[in-house]
């Protein structure tokens, strides 16, 4: 397969990335501003031997992609905030059963029905902590149409490697804008590690990840959302077993947070450093182009797990400025990992931060002394 250059919107590029990554089952429910992902998958999957189904709601969509994953497919759904909330129940099930799958969230303004057609990044904390209980996940944030393709491919690889749900936390800006995109034809698919015949289905390997007992491959596995032993059998009354299971499932991702980090570190010797992901990254890149050499930039393509050790690479940092289309969700995380003053630069309503607003935030940050300051834009 050769590369193809197209002029597509981000949502369509995401669907193409999924197809290129070998996704062959998509279950979803239409919701603005993610619907183009489902529409493209509906058109494309039957042509590559895959299956598309429109479910009755997002609870069902999430359930179906987990079922499809156990039947052996790479599976995906796509949604936005209200649907993401409904998926939380079965996202927890996927975490507990260590089911690889990809969930695309093209974020819009919330809470509730909010602003269906406007961009936001208000679901970042929900992505990490939205389901009940302790668990970890991986969340990626694209800031271009090309990254909608590339990071969707990457999401499937990470899902399989770590046996976890992986979220593509896009936003309306990136989902709906059109740019030139190279649809890579040479995408290498790294298959999930199949359970060995002498392995227990929930016994981890050295990296904390068990082999995957695909249905129909002779394993006769029992998969349950209950706390379970290494055979996969319910074992709900042992405190030690439960703690070991939960800590192992969290650790298999968190222990690799700096190894799998996907970041840009620009001007590490600058004093005022912008930390961004998704659409605001584009505004920060413009600021750096307009004021060359003045500011540093820590751009995150993987937001969760947060690559905390990378912050130290900004040796001269006097302030971290975090522009987000929410009220400082990732700024709080940054604060947890540094003693450098953190300036949160929130923007709600759907408009992207302007370069002037970022410049203003940088000016405030240059004299910031408090550990956590909000700049009003």
| Footprint on this chain of other proteins (rule: CB under 8 A) | 5-7, 24-25, 27, 32-33, 51, 53, 55-57, 59-61, 63-73, 75, 89-90, 93, 116-118, 172-173, 176-180, 213, 215-226, 231, 233-234, 279, 282-283, 285-286, 289, 351-352, 354-355
Residue 103 or 342 with smaller CB distance to other proteins: 103
The first and second tokens of residue 326, run together, are 């929410």
Closest distance to other proteins from the beta carbon of 271 (Å): 22
Closest distance to other proteins from the beta carbon of 364 (Å): 21
The first and second tokens of residue 358, run together, are 């970022």
Distance CA 39, CA 26 (A): 11
Residue 185 or 233 with smaller CB distance to other proteins: 233
Residue 182 or 309 with smaller CB distance to other proteins: 182
- Provide the 8-state DSSP code for 45: G
Closest distance to other proteins from the beta carbon of 25 (Å): 5
The first and second tokens of residue 33, run together, are 């501003």
Residue 244 or 354 with smaller CB distance to other proteins: 354
Decide if 152 contacts 14 (C-beta within 8 A).
Answer: yes
Closest distance to other proteins from the beta carbon of 92 (Å): 8
| Cα–Cα distances in angstroms (integers) from residue 286 to residues 261, 280, 289, 319, in the given order | 23, 10, 5, 19
Residue 94 or 158 with smaller CB distance to other proteins: 94
Residue 114 or 268 with smaller CB distance to other proteins: 114
Residue 24 or 257 with smaller CB distance to other proteins: 24
Closest distance to other proteins from the beta carbon of 281 (Å): 9
Closest distance to other proteins from the beta carbon of 340 (Å): 25
Q: Residue by residue, what is the 3-state secondary structure of 295-344?
A: CEEEEECEEECCCHHHHHHCCCCCEEEEEECCCCHHHHHHHHCCCCCEEE
Closest distance to other proteins from the beta carbon of 342 (Å): 24
How many C-beta atoms lie closer than 10 Å to residue 154's C-beta?
A: 23
| Cα–Cα distances in angstroms (integers) from residue 120 to residues 3, 237, 281, in the given order | 32, 42, 13
Residues contacting 252, CB < 8 A, separation 6+: 136, 162, 163, 164, 204, 207, 208, 209
Report the C-alpha dihedral over residues 5, 169, 334, 285, rounded to 10 degrees: 30
Q: Which helix (H) or strand (E) holds 212?
A: none
Distance CA 117, CA 176 (A): 10
Closest distance to other proteins from the beta carbon of 304 (Å): 23
Q: Which residue has the tokens 């600058």?
A: 270
Residue 67 or 305 with smaller CB distance to other proteins: 67
């Amino acid at each position: 397969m050769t590369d193809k250059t197209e002029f597509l919107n981000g949502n369509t590029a995401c669907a193409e990335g999924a197809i290129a990554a070998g996704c062959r089952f998509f279950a979803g429910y239409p919701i603005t501003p993610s619907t183009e992902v489902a529409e493209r998958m509906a058109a494309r999957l039957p042509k590559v031997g895959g299956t598309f189904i429109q479910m009755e709601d997002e609870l069902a969509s999430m359930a179906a992609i987990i079922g499809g994953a156990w039947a052996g497919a790479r599976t995906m759904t796509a949604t936005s905030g209200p649907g993401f909330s409904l998926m939380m129940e079965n996202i927890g099930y996927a975490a507990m059963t260590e089911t690889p799958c990809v969930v695309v969230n093209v974020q819009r303004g919330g809470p509730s029905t909010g602003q269906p057609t406007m961009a936001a990044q208000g679901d970042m904390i929900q992505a990490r902590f939205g389901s009940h209980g302790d668990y970890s996940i991986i969340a990626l944030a694209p800031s271009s149409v090309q990254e909608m393709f590339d990071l969707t491919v990457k999401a499937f690889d990470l899902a399989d490697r770590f046996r976890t749900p992986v979220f593509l936390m896009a936003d309306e800006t990136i989902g709906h804008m059109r740019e030139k995109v190279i649809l890579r034809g040479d995408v290498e698919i790294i298959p999930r590690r199949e359970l060995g015949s002498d392995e227990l289905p929930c016994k981890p390997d050295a990296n904390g990840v068990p082999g995957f007992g695909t249905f129909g491959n002779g394993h006769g596995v029992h998969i349950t959302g209950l706390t379970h032993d290494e055979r996969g059998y319910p074992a709900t009354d042992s405190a030690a077993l439960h703690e070991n299971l939960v800590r192992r499932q969290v650790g298999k991702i968190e222990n690799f947070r700096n190894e799998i980090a996907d970041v840009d570190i620009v001007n590490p010797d600058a004093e005022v450093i912008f930390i961004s992901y998704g659409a605001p990254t584009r505004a920060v890149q413009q600021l750096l182009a307009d004021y060359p050499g003045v500011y540093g930039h820590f751009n995150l393509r993987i937001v969760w797990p947060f690559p905390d050790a990378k912050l130290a690479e900004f040796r001269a940092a006097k302030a971290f400025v975090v522009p987000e289309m929410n009220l400082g969700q990732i700024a709080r995380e940054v604060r947890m990992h540094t003693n450098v003053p953190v300036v949160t630069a929130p923007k709600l309503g759907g408009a992207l931060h302007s370069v002037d607003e970022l410049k203003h935030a940088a000016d405030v940050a240059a004299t910031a002394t408090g550990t956590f300051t909000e700049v009003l834009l």
